[in-house]
Structure formats: C-alpha cells, structure tokens
Structure 1
Amino acid sequence: MNAMDSNIRILVADDHPLLREGLSGMIAGQPDMKLVAEAENGEQALQAYRTHQPDITLMDVQMPKMNGIDAITAIRSEFPAARIVVLTTYKGDAQAVRAIKAGASGYLLKSMLRKDLVETIRSVHAGRRRISADIASEMAEHMADDELTTRERDVLSRVAAGNANKEVAAQMGISEETVKTHMKNVLTKLSARDRTHAVVVAVRRGIIDL
C-alpha cells in the first residue's frame, strides 16, 4: 500500500462555501488526509457518500433539503460502519444526543475546528468517539431529564413562531385543551417559568430551531 492509499479519505458536507474552503485547506495541510468530495446539503452528502465511501465524513447539522442528522441516519442505514463527525455552532445537548443516536461518532463545535479538528478526525478514524468537552458536560447535566415527545416539540415550535394556543390547535387539528396540556408538560420537562422561557431553553439546548 502506498502513501496515497493510506490517506484518511474525507467528505465535507456544509452549505457555507467559505467553511468548506477552510476545511479543505486544513485537510490539505495534513500529510495523512485527503479531501475526496464536498456537498452543500444532506441529499448531496448521501449521494457523495455512496459514490466515494470516505473514511470520515464531516457533517454540518443545519443544511437545506436534508439536514445533517437526517443525512447521518440515511447514510448509516446503508453503510452501518460509516464514521461521521458532526460540525455545529450549537452547544445544545438535545441536538447532540439526536446526532449520536443517529450514528455520529464525533461532535465538534465549529468554534473549536482550528484547535480540535485534525485530532478529532484521526481519533474517529481510529475507532474512538470524540465529543467537545462543552457538549459532553451539557449532555451529562441533562441526562436524567425527560425528553420532549415529537408532538411536544411540534407544539413548542409553533408557539415559538408566535402562534397562540388556539392557532396551534387549528394548525395541528387538535383541541386547544390538548395544546395547553402539551405546553404544561413542556414547561415541566424544561423547568421553564413560562412559554417564552421554554422557547429560550429549547433553542439553547437544540431541541427546536427558530
């Protein structure tokens, strides 16, 4: 096997061209790494993975057409051994948990790329998990918390968009009382004082997006 064959082959999936360019430059500067493909959304990432079957995929979470977590799920369903590192600006533990459950092997904050990216790639390629310390701490803090159900997240997302209970009920085809019950559960699970506080906590933890 020659040196080129032993390189860690990497796919970068992110919808920001400048970030892809920066990642490409960092990878090019490593003697044991090679960028084999780029993608700007989850659908392209899935297709690129099928074509190139890289050793490591660097995957943004927030992308058009198919988000990063859905792309991870799709890739891992076809390629169970895929090693994927999530890149994100969000410190939220809930988003990290969803990514890890989807099959991500690493979870790295974009603010830490310059410091931790290369080591994270090599570590995940060697079969280890790598999660940013801040994220791991947040995950540990909320490990015992009850997760919001899909319906509760849906209700909260609609509330976050400025809808009153009556409007949420009409949009979802449920009663206003049911919406109130869901919101009561949300407030309890998030230890939130009111609806606004619940939205703030949920966004910070990555439970919902605005």
Structure 2
Amino acid sequence: MSDKGKTLLIIDDSPFIITGLLHQPEGLPSLQKVYTAENYADAQPILQSSRPDVLLLDIHLPDVNGIEVLRRVKQLYPSVVVIMISNQEGDVYRTRCKALGAAHYIDKSTEFHLVSQIVSSFL
C-alpha cells in the first residue's frame, strides 16, 4: 500500500477511548485524516463519503453491535481494513471477528498501547 494520504475512522462510544486513540496515531505521518464516530449511525456517512483505509471498530456500540457493523462494512466496503477493539477477552470474539474479515483484534485492557503500531502496519 502507498503510505500517502491514508484515512482512519474510529468508531467507539467512549469519549475516553476516542481521546486515547486520537493521541496514539499522531506519530503516523501517513495519516491524512482521522474521523471519529460514537455509533454506527454517525459513521455511515463517513464510510460512504470518505471510504477510510483503516477502521478501528469497538464491539459494543449503542446502536448496532460492532460485530454486525464489521459484517456490513466488509460486505459494502471490502477494501476497508477493519481492526476490532474491545474489552472482551478470549478467543471467541477474536476468532469470530477474524472469520468475518477483521484484519486484527485488539484487547483494550492489555493491548491498547499497541494501537498506533498495529494501525501503522496496515497503512
């Protein structure tokens, strides 16, 4: 992939998590734009108009389950790299998300500090 002008969309309903995630990618020179949304309804127009290169997607959203959002995004926008983020430990969610097309699964409680590195690997 070319590393110029890439876009990132973060969908997470926690302002604390969004703020933390926004501070991590600052060191990624390949990011041209970072969008945020607290739910799927707010993210839909961004997905349609901006077609982000990478999507950081929480499993627990207030309007639509993140796993269902993953399914929809991969069906409608298969080129979008989806990285799931969740506090859900264990292989059940990780395995399910990978089977639905997630490129990576980040456990917020143990791997949050790796977000920038993981996003960078997909740009």
After TM superposition, the score normalised by the length of structure 2 is 0.86
Deviation at residue 52 of structure 1 after TM alignment: 1.2
Q: RMSD in angstroms over aligned alpha carbons?
A: 1.7
Q: Which residue does 2:86 correspond to in 1? A: 88
1:54 maps to 52
1:140-164 deviation line (CA, Å, top 9, x unaligned): xxxxxxxxxxxxxxxxxxxxxxxxx
Identity of aligned residues (%): 27
* TM-score between the two structures when normalised by the length of structure 1: 0.53
Count of matched residue pairs: 120
Other-structure match for 1:100: 98
- The amino acid of 1:32's aligned partner reads S
Query: CA contact under 8 A between 2:53 and 2:79: conserved in structure 1?
Result: no
**Aligned partners of 2:105, 2:32: CA distance in 1, in Å?**
20
The structure-2 alpha-carbon separation of the partners of 1:98 and 1:42, relative to structure 1 and needing over 3 Å to count, comes to farther
The gaps in structure 2 that reach 5 residues or longer are none
For residue 27 of structure 2, what is the amino acid of its counterpart? G
Q: Which segment drifts farther, 82-91 or 92-101?
A: 92-101
Pick 1 or 2: higher relative contact order, CA cutoff 8 A, min separation 6: 2
Instruction: Answer yes or no: is the 8 Å Cα contact 2:28–2:120 preserved in 1.
Output: no
Provide, for residues 73-92 of structure 1, a one-character-per-residue CA deviation record: whole Å limited to 9, x for no partner.
11111111110100111112
Larger helix share, 1 or 2: 1
- Per-residue deviation, 1:47: 3.1
Deviates more, 1:87-96 or 1:23-32: 23-32
List, as ranges, runs of 4+ consecutive aligned residues in structure 1 with deviation greater than 6 Å: none
